[in-house]
A and B are shown apart, each in its own frame.
Chain A
Amino acid sequence: MSIASALRAAKRQSLSLIFLVIGAVLVLFTILTLINMIFRQIVLEPEGLLEAASDPEVTKSILLTLYASLLATLIAMILGTPLAYVLARHDFPGKSIVESIIDVPVIIPHSVAGIALYALFMSRSPVGKAFSSVGIIFEDGLWGIVVAMLFVSAPFYVNAAREGFQSVNPRLDRVARTLGASQWKAFYRITLPLAIRHLFSGAIMAWARGISEFGAVIMIAFYPMIAPILIFYKFTTHGLKAAQPIAVLLILICLVVFIALRTSSKYWERRK
């Protein structure tokens, strides 16, 4: 292709080309921010990263973060899947109100959510007292971290799952019924397998959202320290040099896990 014809082609596509250049700024902004930090840490100060990785306080905190968010995601799946199904398949009075309520945690400031959760679940509260009698402690405890993560991440799961169920034609379910499947069998054999990819990606989103939560968790459970809180604590007490290695470590672990999950879900998909 000659330069002239390339220019002519470019002119025909001028709108998309200009939009591409403008849009690229946003992508660069994201990449630059993260790459800058990761590059500086790994290349310029690798010993800091190794030190953080061998610090039991750090590894324990990262593991706690992953674990607490996993618990929150599992709860979101158990409670959210039925809710998503009902919202996808049925119309009922007040449905739009329910849908708005589900989205509330996305909209309100997370420190506000944290305060609200603390007020409800603190050890002095009736709810906190009731749960502590069966050994579940929220204030400065694992379950406090879990409820905070659940609160902020559940909308991501429920919305993805609802979209998943909506994408399955209800006629498939009906045909299965005429072929002799009960409601439960039709759900299990037809609707669920067809929506599973959405449920899975919703779960990954919810898990990631849980891991990144800071504002809501710090209000109800400063201790045991999840990684975002540990990073904040180190940053305010020892500065960037102490906080950055932990941040890089957390982001690397998360990236590895998410890439692994994405690839395995794609592989799964192809096998079907």
Chain B
Amino acid sequence: MITLEKVSHKWEDFSLKNISFNVKKGEYFIILGPTAAGKTLILETIAGFYIPHEGKILLNEKESTRIPPENRNIGFVYQDYSLFPHMTVGENIAFGLKMRKLPTSEVETEVQNIIDSMNISYLKDRSPSTLSGGEQQRVALARALVINPAILLLDEPLSALDPRIRESLREELKRIHRTRGTTTIHVTHDQSEALALADRIGVIINGEVIQVDTPHKIFNEPISEDMAIFVGVENIIRGKIVSREDGLVLVDIGHYQIRALSNLTEGEVNVFIRPENIILSKVKLESSARNSLSGRITKITQFGATFRIYMDNGLSALVTKQAIEELGLRIEEKVYASFKATAIHLIRR
């Protein structure tokens, strides 16, 4: 559906380097990356505002690198929604249809249909400046969807909203995608947003695609140390594979040896363990598919609704307040950190 082939473009102070990925028809694809990673520029390049200095863009398997934006049939929603301030909500939504020279009566019906389906018909005659963030967002979506775009491009569509509305609009995006099946590329820096919505995720850091994969693989099997840091793996340990048996490898990480599930058979490795996959206990949890490492708590910090426990064995874990109370977790306390062999991801170093 959408293919970027080695797309490179240089701006005065930023460049996209060798961007390649492919979005399938009907897919909800999320471009995830930190601020200033070049995410918006990728969307704008797909939309046709920049002709890449190198590489190709294929839309619908058709070479489209030089097709002007108005002929690409793309719906675009910016982070600030970019509603036309000199038009009413109704006129904003009708704009794309008028540009397609639809007869007035048809424009009317189409506009009415979309605002009914998005429950915003009460906004029709209002001016954009009088709308709340959530309302503007819905109008911007309606304006982009009414033209029945082949591709919907969403640039941080939820990040300007307060958390409560964000949740409901996230569901709305899901619902729209389910009912309309529009191929969607959604750009965000918010990992929970990416997890909640994406069929697949492409991680972009500093103008480069680092990894394109399913959400599960992105978060549990990052392909590099940078990726692991970015997706919050936290526990990144250097080790060396010492033996291999029954599909499990034994990795020496200094004072301990741990069992991990991996395709690797030998050599120096980086060991990734997500903190939420570590269970803390007062007694050693023995099992062949589980590792249980002793350690002493060195630091406890609050992290949103959960607490982060740091141990002198180099690991950190996420636990609830309840768990802290039940286990009596305190600094200097001795604990066991347990994690399954399947919760470990190894990459070659």
A237 CB, nearest partner CB in chain B, Å: 54
**A82-109 CB contacts (< 8 Å) to partner B:** 91
A209 contacts B by Cβ under 8 Å: no
A174-206 vs B, Cβ < 8 Å mask (1 yes, 0 no): 111111111101000110011000000000000
Name the one of A91, A172, A182 contacting B84, with C-beta atoms under 8 angstroms. A172
Contact yes or no, A174 B96, CB < 8 A: no
Determine if A270 is an interface residue (Cβ-Cβ < 8 Å). no
Pairwise interchain contact A194-B147, C-beta atoms closer than 8 A: no
- A interface residues (Cβ-Cβ under 8 A, vs B): 91, 169, 171-172, 174-183, 185, 189-190, 193-194, 272
Beta-carbon nearest neighbor of A272 in chain B: B86
* Inter-subunit contact A169/B95 (CB<8 Å): no
With beta carbons under 8 angstroms apart, the residue of B12, B85, B96 that contacts A194 is B85
Cβ-based interface call for B74 (8 A) = yes
Q: How far is the CB of B101 from chain A (nearest CB, A)?
A: 9
Chain B residues bordering chain A, tally (CB within 8 A): 26
Q: Mark B41-67, 1 if CB is under 8 A from A, else 0.
A: 000100111000000000000000000
Partner of B69, one of A172, A178, A190, A194: A178
Q: How many A-B residue pairs have CB under 8 A?
A: 64
Query: Which residues on B are within 8 Å of A, measured CB to CB?
Result: 12, 44, 47-49, 68-70, 72, 74-76, 78, 80, 82, 84-86, 95-96, 99-100, 143-144, 147, 153
> Which chain A positions have C-beta within 8 A of B12?
91
Contact A194 B86 (CB under 8 A): yes
Question: With a CB–CB cut-off of 8 A, which chain A residues contact B80?
Answer: 169, 171
**With contact pairs A179-B95, A185-B99 given, residues A174 and B86 touching in the complex (Cβ less than 8 Å):** no
B16 → chain A closest CB, angstroms: 17
Question: Are B82 and A169 in contact, with the CB atoms below 8 A?
Answer: yes
Given A171-B78, A185-B99; A178-B70 close (CB under 8 Å): yes
B70 touches A174 (CB 8 A): no
Q: Decide if A171 touches B99 in the complex (CB within 8 Å).
A: no
* A contact residues around B100 at 8 Å (CB): 180
Residue in B70, B85, B143, B153 with the greatest tally of chain A CB atoms within 10 Å: B70
A181 is contacted by which of B47, B70, B74 (Cβ under 8 Å)? Answer: B70
Cβ A171 vs Cβ B82 within 8 A:
yes
Q: A180-B70, A180-B99 are in contact. Are A174 and B84 (CB under 8 A)?
A: no
CB-defined contacts of B48 to chain A, threshold 8 Å:
177
CB of A249 to closest CB in B, whole Å: 40
Known: A174-B47, A180-B99. 17 other contacts (CB 8 A): A171-B80, A171-B82, A172-B82, A172-B85, A174-B44, A174-B49, A174-B69, A175-B82, A177-B69, A178-B47, A178-B72, A178-B76, A179-B70, A179-B99, A179-B144, A180-B96, A194-B86
> Please, how many angstroms separate the alpha-carbon atoms of A91 and B143 in the complex?
31
Are B84 and A190 touching (Cβ within 8 A)?
Answer: yes
- A171 to chain B minimum Cβ distance, whole angstroms, is 4
By Cβ-Cβ distance, the 6 closest A-B pairs, closest first, are: A179-B96, A180-B99, A177-B69, A178-B76, A171-B82, A175-B82
A174 to chain B, nearest CB (A): 6
A173 CB, min distance to chain B CBs, angstroms: 9
Q: B residues within 8 A CB of A189?
A: 95
B7 CB → nearest A CB, Å = 18
